[in-house]
Amino acid sequence: MNPRQVADYMFNQDYFSQWMNIKMIEVKENYCLIEMPIKKDMINGLKTVHGGVTFAFADSALAFSSNNTGDAAVALNCIINFTKAGKEGDVFRAESILVNDTRKTAVYDIKITNQNQELIAKFVGTVYKIGKKVTEL
């Protein structure tokens, strides 16, 4: 399978990413660009996007980029910095780029922006390569 086919295979089993209405814009080896509309049920008590939603969106980008070679990887450590509050009606984009790759781990930078290309959050994720194929899980 090519990277897009692997990402689609994963997405078809990822009911949470489906609930978030994630759309894959571009998928290449160890890279992805995804998009998500902000719905009313993603808003917190301060009328902004719940931080957990933003984190989960970045985590999905990490999953689709770090597994799309077909070799399974799981999150080992993730750090997020929130830079701007999102609002209902926004459209978030997450771009995940591989920045370091070793035999057992890899590090990805994920930038989340809104429809105005304003930075919403910066996420760094480290994954652990578990030694299995995505299709074996």
Q: Identify the CATH number of the domain in which residue 119 sits.
A: 3.10.129.10
* Cα–Cα distance, 80 to 76 (Å, whole number): 14
Say how many domains are in the chain.
Answer: 1
* Cα–Cα distance, 89 to 28 (Å, whole number): 28
* Cα–Cα distance, 119 to 14 (Å, whole number): 26
Q: What is the extent of the structural domain holding 39?
A: 3-132
Which H helix or E strand runs over 114?
A: none
Q: What confidence score (pLDDT) does residue 45 get?
A: 98
Which tens digits make up the pLDDT trace of 82-101? Answer: 999 999 999 999 999 999 99
In a domain, 78, yes or no: yes
Q: What confidence score (pLDDT) does residue 131 get?
A: 98
Return all residues near 12 (Cβ < 8 A) that are at least 6 apart.
none
In a domain, 125, yes or no: yes
* Cα–Cα distance, 30 to 19 (Å, whole number): 24
In a domain, 137, yes or no: no
Q: What confidence score (pLDDT) does residue 115 get?
A: 98
Half-sphere exposure of 115 (CA within 13 A, CB side): 9
Which tens digits make up the pLDDT trace of 102-123? Answer: 999 999 999 999 999 999 999 9
Which tens digits make up the pLDDT trace of 35-83? Answer: 999 999 999 999 999 999 999 999 999 999 999 999 999 999 999 999 9
